[in-house]
Structure 1
Amino acid sequence: MPTGQRNFTALPVIDISGLYRDEPSQRQAVADQLGAAAREVGFFYITGHGIDPQLIAGLREASRALFAQPMPWKMRYYIGDAWGHKGYVPEGEEVYSKGRPDHKEAFDIGFEVPDDHPLVLAGTPLIGNNKWPELPGFKAAVSRYYEAVFALGRTLFRGFALALGQPEDAFESLVTCPPSKLRLIHYPVDLEAVDAPGIGAHTDYECFTLLLADQPGLEVMNDEGAWIDAPPCSVAGEEAFVINIGDMLEVMTAGAFPATSHRVRKVQQERYSFPLFFACDYHTRIRPLPQFANGSGDAGSYGELSIGEHMYSQAQQTYTYLKRKVEAGELAMSADALKPGSFGYTRPRTPAGP
């Protein structure tokens, strides 16, 4: 992407209600806006999504109750003790950049899959049931929210298909049992925080992300290297979601939809953040779509990539418990693993290496 074409100073806002209309031209009109925002910014707000505010309120209440529990209780659900890479993530478990560990904790929920599912029986990483905490109302509230926001992700994926000149259902068969994770993230009050990075700059591994947050802190990098604030946004009383392009859509479009680097600034106030990372099925292998693969530009630098292997290798380089297993020889990274930060219009693609 040539310098100067993504020097945005704010995120666009797109009303996606047209994606739910019967008239194809209305759906295409929204898709065109999604495509333009993906090319020119990589981050944008959506309204008209139809998510019930009560579901959002229930998710927030459940999250506050969870993170208010004592640490020994929360560590009963430690992500490193559970199959499928789900559960509680204590402060310092994730490392995106050097320096002081991120002052945050999280609880990771995935696409619910029973123990007798073929992918679970085959030992597929990132796939399995959730480690639900014994907390009244938690599972019901979080499950309802997950189902609603995942359905919203399906709607957006149909919109992206139209934006890319594909049939509206072109990607439907790629999303049947995906490693799509919902994260409940809590940033406690930090009176020592300064106006500096919290979560290090990174791109998201999946196709795209749907985010709700209750406080500022998110920053997005434009092509001039400037950090642009992306605070919570409401339009006519409706909370907007922040949508950002991930690594997988960058591959599918050979960089036309670049994954955009972002970070969370360290802030003093308490903050809750809820990203849903929308992915295709684990064994899906993606490559640039024909109109990009056969064109000019960067198509040649994008080879075929396994979605699941990419996501798992990135996690193995980010989560402390997985890094320890790799170092001990208990786990092996894919031979095609890339280093974190290998995508995005500001960074080259580089192998993880030894």
Structure 2
Amino acid sequence: MSSSSNNSYADAKTVALDDIPVIDLADLVAGKPGAIETVAQQIVDASQRIGFFYVKNHGIAQSVIDGASAAMRDYFALPTDTKAQTPVNTSQRGWMATGMAKLEGSKTHDLKEIFFWGPESWHPRLDARKGVDSLVAQNQWPDAAFPRLRQDLLPYYDEIQRVGRKLLSAIAVGLKLDSQFFEGKYTSPMARGQLVYYPVSTAKDESEERFGSAPHTDFGVLTLLLQDMNGGLQVRNRAGEWVAATPIPGTLVCNIGDLLNRWSNETLSSNLHRVINRSGNERHSIAIFFDPDPDAVVDPAELGFPEGVDKYPPITASDYIHGKNRKNFSQYK
């Protein structure tokens, strides 16, 4: 590290259980009586405090996780020219090179490299919106060069949505709603996916206070993250301290996004987080932003707030996500 580098700009303390709790989903997945209420309280407690929690015993087979993870690593190891054959577009589909993401308020661009995808098919009512709403789009898969990516990633994608629906049912109960409240908004969810590659942070990166992913909140409703064991994710707690979200085998990291913070009239917290890869190894993660149907209306009044207490007007999920994308990704500039 050069003497001019500021290697303290991304320091974080080791996580404590009180900062980011681990929630056991075994009984919820099994459908045991009372499980949804127990998980609901744990999620709401975590989401009101810090917006983040781990989940274990989520029911996704390790073979499915391993297949998706291996395909991701091998994809990012492909030559740049090969990955560039499916460049990212304003539908957030395809490969995005390092330097194209500069998050709101950050000093410089992020180091991360991303492959974006979404649903393979849409509800018939949404097919008519293709070409009108760019988030209702076809995926761009590198099938000619690397067919394994689609083949090995989609089973994980399907499974993670199953977990997402379980968690949303618990969140609904925690908000004193019917457990099926969100189902009506998730008939054909956006479920935006990202494979993310983080190179090792260099002395030059740290001298410029560059992150793998600069401090930000997620845009949507619920994020489900599979991180490798290299670490690097940091979350800001209630005291304003950055804590390391240390990888825990067999878990997913989940967090509340801005859209659910808005939907819940700020009852649930969308907290800042960031990534810096100081592990000495390449870091990989799979993030699924489990967001509603593009045309779903997000209205805090639906959650039962008295007239005048709801802080935000209704907005469609697509309009909200579009607004965030335009501020953070260079392909929109």
Which TM-score applies when normalising by structure 2? 0.86
- Residue 283 (structure 1) aligned to one of 295, 298, 307: 295
What's the % identity of the aligned pairs? 28
Return the alpha-carbon distance in structure 1 between the equivalents of residues 93 and 168 of structure 2. Answer: 24
Structure-2 change in CA distance of 1:269 and 1:143 (3 Å): same
AA matched with 1:231: T
Matched, 1:14 2:29: no
Task: Return 5+ residue gaps in structure 1 as ranges.
Answer: 1-6, 324-354
Q: Could you tell me whether the CA contact under 8 Å between 1:253 and 1:289 is conserved in 2?
A: no
Return the alpha-carbon distance in structure 2 between the equivalents of residues 115 and 30 of structure 1. Answer: 30
Return the alpha-carbon distance in structure 2 between the equivalents of residues 109 and 310 of structure 1. Answer: 18
Structure-2 change in CA distance of 1:74 and 1:252 (3 Å): same
AA matched with 1:307: A
Return the alpha-carbon distance in structure 2 between the equivalents of residues 271 and 123 of structure 1. Answer: 36
Q: Could you tell me whether the CA contact under 8 Å between 2:49 and 2:269 is conserved in 1?
A: no
Deviation at 1:126, TM superposition (A): 1.1
Q: Could you tell me whether the CA contact under 8 Å between 1:161 and 1:168 is conserved in 2?
A: yes
Residue equivalent to 2:11: none
Q: Could you tell me whether the CA contact under 8 Å between 1:113 and 1:127 is conserved in 2?
A: no
AA matched with 1:284: A
Post-superposition CA distance 1:300-337 (Å, at most 9, x none): 432222211110111111111112xxxxxxxxxxxxxx
Q: Could you tell me whether the CA contact under 8 Å between 2:201 and 2:212 is conserved in 1?
A: no
Matched, 1:93 2:100: yes
AA matched with 1:157: L
Structure-2 change in CA distance of 1:103 and 1:321 (3 Å): same
Please report the RMSD computed on the Cα atoms of aligned residues, expressed in angstroms.
Answer: 2.4
- Residue 147 (structure 1) aligned to one of 151, 154, 158: 158
Q: Could you tell me whether the CA contact under 8 Å between 2:168 and 2:182 is conserved in 1?
A: yes
Please give the secondary structure, in 1, of the residue aligned with 2:84: helix
Return the alpha-carbon distance in structure 2 between the equivalents of residues 131 and 115 of structure 1. Answer: 19
Matched, 1:40 2:54: no
Return the alpha-carbon distance in structure 2 between the equivalents of residues 308 and 284 of structure 1. Answer: 8
Residue equivalent to 2:323: 313
Return the alpha-carbon distance in structure 1 between the equivalents of residues 117 and 130 of structure 2. Answer: 20
- Residue 24 (structure 1) aligned to one of 12, 16, 33: 33
Q: Could you tell me whether the CA contact under 8 Å between 2:297 and 2:316 is conserved in 1?
A: yes
- Residue 199 (structure 2) aligned to one of 185, 188, 202: 188
Task: Return 5+ residue gaps in structure 2 as ranges.
Answer: 1-15
Return the alpha-carbon distance in structure 2 between the equivalents of residues 300 and 31 of structure 1. Answer: 22
Matched, 1:232 2:230: no
- Residue 163 (structure 1) aligned to one of 164, 174, 188: 174
Which TM-score applies when normalising by structure 1? 0.81
- Residue 68 (structure 2) aligned to one of 59, 64, 69: 59
Return the alpha-carbon distance in structure 2 between the equivalents of residues 93 and 209 of structure 1. Answer: 21
Q: Could you tell me whether the CA contact under 8 Å between 1:10 and 1:229 is conserved in 2?
A: no
Matched, 1:204 2:218: yes
Post-superposition CA distance 1:185-209 (Å, at most 9, x none): 0112344354954312111111110
Question: Size of the alignment, in residue pairs?
Answer: 309
